[in-house]
Chains A and B, each alone.
Chain A
Amino acid sequence: MGTNSEPLITLCVSGFPGTNRSLMNLEKTTGLSRHFVLRGSDAKAIDVKFYLEYIKEGKPKCVLFGGWSPVYDIFLKTLGNKKTEFGVYWTSSPGQIDISEEIKYMDFLLNSAKVKHRLFAHKELASALSGCTRDVRHLPDTVLFPEDEVEKKQRGGNNGFVISLFCSPFEYRRKNILNSLLALSMMKGGYILYLNGLSGNEFYLDVLKALKIRYADFGWMSDEEYRRVLDEVDLGLQVSFAETFNYVAAEHIVKRIPVITSRMVPVMDCMPGDIRKRTVVDDPDSACEIRGKIEYFIGNPSHLNPLGARMYNCLMRENESRIKTASEVLNSIIKRSKG
Chain B
Amino acid sequence: MKDDGLNRIYTINDEIAHREIEGQILILRPDDNFLYTLNGSGRYIWLGIARKKKLSSIIRGVSKEFGIPEDSARRDVMEFVRDLEAKGILSEKG
> Which residues from chain A sit less than 8 Å from chain B, CB to CB?
1-4, 20, 24, 27, 35-37, 39, 46-47, 49-50, 53-54
Contacts and interface: CB of A to CB of B under 8 A. Distances in A.
B22 A46 contact: yes
Contacts of B33: 20, 24, 27, 35-37
A2 B15 contact: yes
Closest 4 A/B residue pairs (Cβ) = A2-B17, A46-B21, A50-B26, A2-B16
Interface of B: 12, 14-19, 21-22, 24, 26, 28, 33-35, 37
A2 B18 contact: yes
29 contacts: A1-B17, A1-B19, A2-B15, A2-B16, A2-B18, A2-B28, A3-B14, A3-B15, A3-B17, A4-B17, A27-B33, A35-B33, A36-B33, A36-B34, A36-B35, A37-B33, A39-B35, A46-B22, A46-B37, A47-B26, A47-B35, A49-B21, A49-B22, A50-B19, A50-B21, A50-B26, A50-B28, A50-B35, A54-B19
A1 B17 CA distance: 5
A39 B21 CA distance: 15
B26 to A, nearest CB: 5
A3 B15 CA distance: 6
Given A2-B28, A24-B33, 5 more contacts: A1-B17, A46-B21, A50-B26, A50-B35, A53-B19
A182 to B, nearest CB: 38
A27 B32 CA distance: 11
Contact of B17 (A20, A27, A39, A54): A54
Contacts of B19: 1, 50, 53-54
Nearest to B17: A2
A46 B17 contact: no
B63 to A, nearest CB: 28
Q: In the complex, which of the residues B15, B17, B37 has the most CB atoms of chain A within 10 Å of its own CB atom?
A: B17
A46 B19 CA distance: 10
A1 B18 contact: yes
Contacts of B16: 2
Contacts of B34: 36-37
A54 B17 CA distance: 8
Contacts of A53: 19
A241 to B, nearest CB: 30
B17 to A, nearest CB: 4
A24 B33 CA distance: 8
A2 B24 contact: no
Contacts of A35: 33
A278 B60 CA distance: 68
A24 B15 CA distance: 19
Contacts of A54: 17, 19, 28
Given A35-B33, A37-B33, A37-B34, A46 B24 contact: yes
